[in-house]
Amino acid sequence: MSIADQAPTTTAADALVRVATSNPLLQPWNTPYGLPPFAQVRPEHFEPAFHASMAEHLTEVDAIGDSTKPPTFDNTVAALDRSGRWLDRVAGLFYGLTSSATSPALQAVQTLVAPQLAEHTSTVHMHQGVFARIDSLHERRAALGLTPEQVRVLERFHLDFVRAGARLGCSQQHRYARIMSRLAELTTRFGQNVLADESAFRLVLRNADDELGLPEFVRASARQAALDAGVTDGPVITLSRSLIVPFLTFSQRRDLREKAWRAWVGRGEHDGPNDNREVAREILQLRNEQARLHGHASYADYALSDTMAQRQSAVKALLDQVWEPAKARAAEEREALQAMALSDGDHAPIEAWDWRYYAEKVRQVRYELDEASVKPYFPLERMVEAAFDCAQQLFGLSFILQPHVAAYHPDVKVYEVRGADDQMVGVFLHDNFARAGKRSGAWMSALRDQSRSGAQAVLPIIVNNNNFAKGAPGEATLLSFDDATTLFHEFGHGLHGLLSDVTYERVAGTQVLRDFVELPSQIFEHWLEEPEVLKRHARHHLTDEPIPDALIARLHAARLFNQGYETLRYTASALVDMAAHALTDAQVPDINTFERAELERLGAPADVGMNHRLVHFQHLFAGSGYAAGYYVYLWAEVLDADGFDAFTEAGGAFDPAVAARLRKFIYSTGNSLEPGAAFKAFRGREPTVGPMLRKRGLVGQGA
């Protein structure tokens, strides 16, 4: 039921109904699968839709909190779980568009409504009537005869309210709400600043000399990027990872590599309106105050209290296990790179913009492997088919393209997802290409979460975003092996949303603890490396010949190559993140000064660098999801490496019994089970760190 369908109860409701009659966001979404009415929606529709849906949500929350009936799970917790559905739908669409297809008009609305949404969230979670009912139920939860999922839902809602300030005093609540509103403004600005810097940079290759060393697939992608940008002076290198990384890997022009590298690492660090230095500093300062209001010494302590890790010491212990071995491995790699440079007549020390270039040369010599020979076997369409095929073999899923169903951009493909019993499971939207107005990186989001606590079951609508450099018209889009791994990673997140099988939306899909959420994505990456998957799907885009066995063997042999470099870059970012959020002083230092000092303290090599500098670290500062949490990829890698060993031990990557446990306890359970218990139910025991260390080549294969 939409807002326009409901009987008005107040004067405000009358006004909202009048607004709803002309706003497609507030009408019933009579579209295929209940998708948003993409073609009808305009930026100006969102602000009134947010106001109307927030008002509706508050009416629902007031009705729960003001009830004179004794609190029960159904009239309080389940009712709260069902509340705000239209606000969720509007927000899901809005933030999907601002990430994937934004515009100045949408960004203006985002700047306006972000603090309003934060204030709304604070109002809901500080509603004393609702919290009193939840708190009462929480105290008596063991005696209420609830199912295990209901107990988990009650506990999660109770914690949501507590962590949002429900137990603070009145003046503290007022200050807390102001902090959250200001943080919403700042995180919105941070993400918009990074996007502005990424969109502004264009390295035009004006002549053949500028293209020296570039394989045809890089030149083709650069020509397409120029076409997309309306540049006529020559092919263009942008800051899209799928374009700049190959450029840094192959370009013989050291001066251009340095120029591109400096632009890449300098995003968010320019004087002017897009400068993120003070934005990030203020975010850290406000998060510090937020944590202190909760009685924690630092934001890291506050954030980690609701994770599997629980404490900074647990995170540090994990990161320390890889830091020094990765430094030692990177030192060995540097020697090989320097020797290669000397053989080319280059006597200069290896710099950060040289590493990928000489690493590729070493890889070609050691393994007879180069990206230009690999990419023809990894066309995008084949890799999508591979991901779908693995999902079918593991979980019985079918992805049926719906070419006549339009999404928010022509690049986006819509699929109906069905199970082995031919019943609908959900809807999947695949958005794979980089373009103007789309933020960098790769991510999964949900336009609608799965649940079945209302009048009818709700099926999920899941979106996967990648940023691959599109091939020229009529030509295949070719992926590197790393790109294909990213596709499988995000598809693993997508399966986590699609296979959700819970009653209550609060614990559906990816709404798990942060250091568990990467397990479903990272474990799915393993299937890409399976020879039977590669032989079936990695086929030459021109000849349709399957990838040769010898090339598969070389890919596997090279898997540990350059792992010191990659591990150091990731771990440096995770350690700097944790250090920044572990600050206990009220005042936060200049973030660049802090970053340099922390890297120096760690002994981080300058020629290796880090995955994300603080000035453009969107995981941390374009939202709070990964703040004091970038470590989670390594934490989940412990789980995924050990977890995939269950298939190895069973004798096959598609063993049906192990796949059934994987679906039941990892992909379908959402947050209805405590994550440690979920992993143990899948694996039969606690995880061990050895498989992760072996996977990264940081210990011997027999260790």
| 185 is an active site residue | no
CA distance 163 to 251: 50
CA distance 591 to 583: 12
Residue 155 CB partners (closer than 8 Å, separation 6+):
138, 141
What are the backbone angles phi and psi of residue 57, rounded to the nearest 5°?
Answer: -65, -45
Contact 217, 478 (CB under 8 A): yes
Largest CA distance in the chain: 83
H/E element holding 86? helix 85-100
Residue 388 CB partners (closer than 8 Å, separation 6+):
397, 398, 399
Q: How far apart are the first and last CA of the chain?
A: 58
Cα dihedral across residues 116, 120, 121, 127: positive or negative:
positive
| Distances from the Cα of 622 to the Cα of 188, 275, 443, 597, 619, angstroms | 6, 14, 13, 23, 6
Contact 226, 232 (CB under 8 A): yes
Residue ranges of E strands in 568-619: none
Active-site residue identified among 198, 360, 490, 518? 490
Q: What torsion, rounded to 10 degrees, do the Cα atoms 468, 472, 476, 479 define?
A: -30
Q: How many residues are recorded in the chain?
A: 703
Strands 413-418 and 398-401: antiparallel
Residue 312 CB partners (closer than 8 Å, separation 6+):
300, 301, 304, 578, 582
Rg, C-alpha atoms of the chain: 25
310 alpha carbon, distance to own chain's centre: 21
The catalytic site residues sit at 490
